[in-house]
Amino acid sequence: MAQYRGRFAPSATGPLHLGSILAALVSYIHAKQHHGEWLIRIDDLDEKRCKQIHVDSILECLDAFGFRPSGSVCRQTDRITDYQNALVSLDNQRRLYPCTCTRKSLPKGPYPGFCRHQIGQTLIAESAVRIDTSDMDLTVDDLIATSSIIQPPGDFIVKRRDGLFAYQLACAVDEQIDGITHVIRGIDLLDSTPMQRFITQCLGYESPTYGHFPVLVGADGAKLSKQTFAEPVDWTRPGETFAVIARLLLLNDTPGPTDHAHVWLDFFVSLDNLIPKLIKASHANTLSL
């Protein structure tokens, strides 16, 4: 396995926005600073929400921002057989059960295990499939985040009633296939980590190291409004977006007004105080403009 292999895994549900470029950038910087490889994975399992037009725009945009992956881009929809094999393997361990609960019948919060008695029963296409998490470890061991509060998810879904493999299962299998050693992503995904690590352990994979960096907030301390946050970045002007990010991170001696993406990327990668800065910002869990 490579010494370091990281990745950026955007969902193909829309064009990249400021938060996505920040996620790409932080994972990229971390990989490059460790002389590692960095890959792009397209999360496109949800056929209803994911469109080819978004895949194209995401890849075009990443290219315009100078992000060159160390290997070919992979897509989750090419890996259905791998996810199915993982599901069978978990089922053979008698960890899975069909769940027929309706959303309405469930209380808020972690799944209370109503269908757990059905463990080992044949998994039928019409039911969701859950995994028994009674021996799941919820401790957080993070490279960046300092928060250690994780909501226990209960027996979470690994395959949905509509037949889609859940992101938690797919992601754990993907990291294994791609030989990912470091998962650096936004703190909004922190709650997913114990679930992904649990599947990783059940399947006997080696677990990647995780790092979750803070989310973006506006000057008033509020999370960036949906409008600002979700606005697609202008991929003809990467310098503009990189300048906003540099401001967010309170960086000095920035490259100035240039749209040469590689100049910006070299600048970011050269900063050895960036990850420590993120760790410091993690105490507040946010980065402000």
Query: Is residue 31 within the footprint of Zn ion (CB under 5 A)?
Result: no
Q: Which of 48, 63, 40, 39 is nearest to 13 (CA)?
A: 48
Site map (CB under 6 A) of ligand GLU, residues 28-47, x = contact:
---------------x----
3-state SS, 268-285, equals HHHCCCHHHHHHHHHCCC
Angle at 135 between CA 131 and CA 138, to 5 degrees: 95
Beta-bridged to residue 99, according to DSSP, are 128
- Does residue 126 contact residue 161 with C-beta atoms inside 8 Å? yes
Query: Is residue 115 within the footprint of Zn ion (CB under 5 A)?
Result: yes
Query: Of residues 55, 64, 101, 230, which one binds Zn ion by CB under 5 A?
Result: 101
Binding at 42: pick from Zn ion, ligand GLU, none (beta carbon under 5-8 Å per type): none
| Dihedral sign computed on CA atoms, order 24, 28, 31, 33 | negative
- Nearest position to ligand GLU, beta carbon: 43
Residue closer to Zn ion (CB basis): 121 or 148 = 121
Number of residues that bind ligand GLU (CB under 6 A): 7
Report which secondary-structure segment, H or E, holds 159.
strand 157-159
Binding at 11: pick from Zn ion, ligand GLU, none (beta carbon under 5-8 Å per type): ligand GLU
Q: Minimum Å distance from CB 40 to ligand GLU?
A: 11
Stretch that binds Zn ion, among 10-18, 101-109, 232-240, 261-269 (CB under 5 A): 101-109
Query: Is residue 185 within the footprint of ligand GLU (CB under 6 A)?
Result: yes
274 phi and psi angles, rounded to 5 deg: -70, -50
- In this structure, which amino acid lies at residue 87? L
Residues engaged in binding Zn ion (CB under 5 A)? 99, 101, 114-115
Residues engaged in binding ligand GLU (CB under 6 A)? 9-11, 43, 171, 185, 189
